[in-house]
Chain A
Amino acid sequence: MNEIGTFDILGPNMIGPSSSHTAGALRIAFIAGKMVEKPAAVRFVLYGSFARTYHGHGTDRALVGGILGYHPDDERIRDSFEYAKEAGLDFTFEENFTDKEIYPNTVDIYVKDENGNEMSLRGKSIGGGNAVITRLNGVDVDLTGNYSTIVVQHIDKKGTLAFVTAVLSAYDLNIGSLRLYRESKGKMAYAIIEVDTMVTSQVINALRGFEAVKNVLLVPAIDLD
């Protein structure tokens, strides 16, 4: 268990009205926004309480703000729809009331860049502005965004992980956690690596230099305070 500090109690500093429906939703979309080069179109599918109350909680505006890369205390969130139009970002919302088994504050996000590359993820808002990504392009994962996170999308092939850790070691990065997820043997796989320090674009480029690696994404940590 993480120890509770002063600003876990007096905080986060956030745009209201609800840490789970606004700040937590934004955090999921923030991560989704980093999954493609420049988001051009995004589709949100809302479940449970998110689907029922997203207008009144401003969940929709928070989600769009997250795609735009805003932090949870950014006063532009309220007007994020207008800012999205300026940025050339299309967005749509769908409500799903049929899937009842799902965690109540869940959203699926499908994000596309200008070249039509698409990524999808599922996130749940777990309270206090925190969130977990539970699915990435259909693969079950576990990603919080509490740390700088590197996502290495690769073909499930021998030697990939050795390459990844060698690069991180060469750039003197300390790995906080590293987990592997895959669709199935020999298919698409994801290495999700949380690190304690800043990650430069050189690291990301170096990680791309291996045949089995298809894409490398960086999700910077959000400081909620």
Chain B
Amino acid sequence: MNFTNGAELLEYCEKENKKISEAMFERETTFLEQDPEKTKAKMKKAWSIMQASAKKPLKENIVSMGGMIGGESRKLHTLRENKKNLCGDVVSKAIAYAVGVLEVNASMGLIVAAPTAGSSGVIPGVCCSLQENYGFTDEEICQALFNAAAVGYLITRNATTAGAEGGCQAEVGAASAMAASAAVELFGGTPAQCLDAASFAIVNILGLVCDPIGGLVENPCQNRNAMGASNALISAELSMAGIKSITPIDETIGVMYAVGRSIPSELRETSMGGMAVAKSACEACAACEKQTQK
């Protein structure tokens, strides 16, 4: 079984009465001829790395290689523990875990690129928070991650998840869409609702540029992962409430790709525009200092 776009995926799920995660697992084990048990074991491993990377900053002091981030996750958890958090527990935890993964990533720790290293905090943030707040089992989360992978596959196949090609909307946007769709499946939404949630997530941050200070995956990447996690939860909630996307997922992905290509190259991971050239940002970044000396 194979599918190459959202319409085919949806048609298959509706005809066979299957979840998106089940369709993706089937594609993996039939069309791609992967061993079912090994595939499950690989997902289990990916999830355990995601959890470890989300929770590591609570146990250890982390300083990033570029020196611009470190300690943000613990600050956010502390705020919530002191009951000073503005967001509810679900969003508060999701953003705390998401920024934590970016700390681990920026300090040369082990992460799962999901779909990229720069957007690696979004999915663990959402999944860890949902697990803690609603008691989903590891098996349920692993199953939902196949749903997330299906959405990431649709975007990669039909557009891009590279910041250099499509800006941050393609990286954090993809991660956010993947997490939104997985969250809807966890809460019992239909495949159509999953893909609507993915559409919302993409459209909500359409056009977001990729402008890493000093060329490093630290700032503004870290906060944007927090935004991507909260955007995923918002998008899932919109869809679970029965709100319908005006564009089907394939069209949304096409729009995102077209917007990505129209973003000037200065704002696509080249660090020649946006935050990367802000005076204060450059002053704060050792890498920029090095760059201007040359």
Residues of chain A at the chain B interface (Cβ within 8 Å): 3-19, 22, 49, 52-53, 55-58, 61, 73, 75, 77-78, 95, 97, 127-129, 225
Contacts and interface: CB of A to CB of B under 8 A. Distances in A.
Interface stretch (B6-14, B70-78, B210-218, B258-266): B210-218
Given A16-B108, A17-B117, A129-B113, A9 B152 contact: yes
Contact of A53 (B28, B113, B214): B214
A77 B66 CA distance: 16
Interface of B: 24-25, 28, 31-32, 34, 39, 42-43, 45-46, 49, 64-66, 104-118, 120, 123, 145-146, 148-149, 152-153, 156-157, 162, 164, 178, 214-218, 286-287, 290-291, 294
24 contacts: A3-B31, A8-B153, A8-B156, A9-B115, A9-B148, A9-B149, A10-B113, A10-B145, A11-B46, A13-B49, A15-B110, A15-B111, A16-B104, A16-B105, A16-B108, A17-B106, A17-B217, A18-B118, A22-B117, A52-B287, A53-B215, A55-B65, A55-B290, A57-B216
Given A5-B32, A6-B146, A13-B49, A18 B153 contact: no
Nearest to B213: A56
Nearest to B123: A10
B5 to A, nearest CB: 13
Given A5-B34, A10-B115, A16-B117, A78 B46 contact: no
B113 to A, nearest CB: 6
Nearest to A14: B113
Contacts of A10: 43, 46, 112-115, 123, 145, 148-149, 152
Given A53-B287, A75-B110, A19 B46 contact: no
Contacts of A225: 42
A12 B116 CA distance: 9
Given A9-B115, A56-B215, A56-B216, A16 B107 contact: yes
A53 B112 contact: no
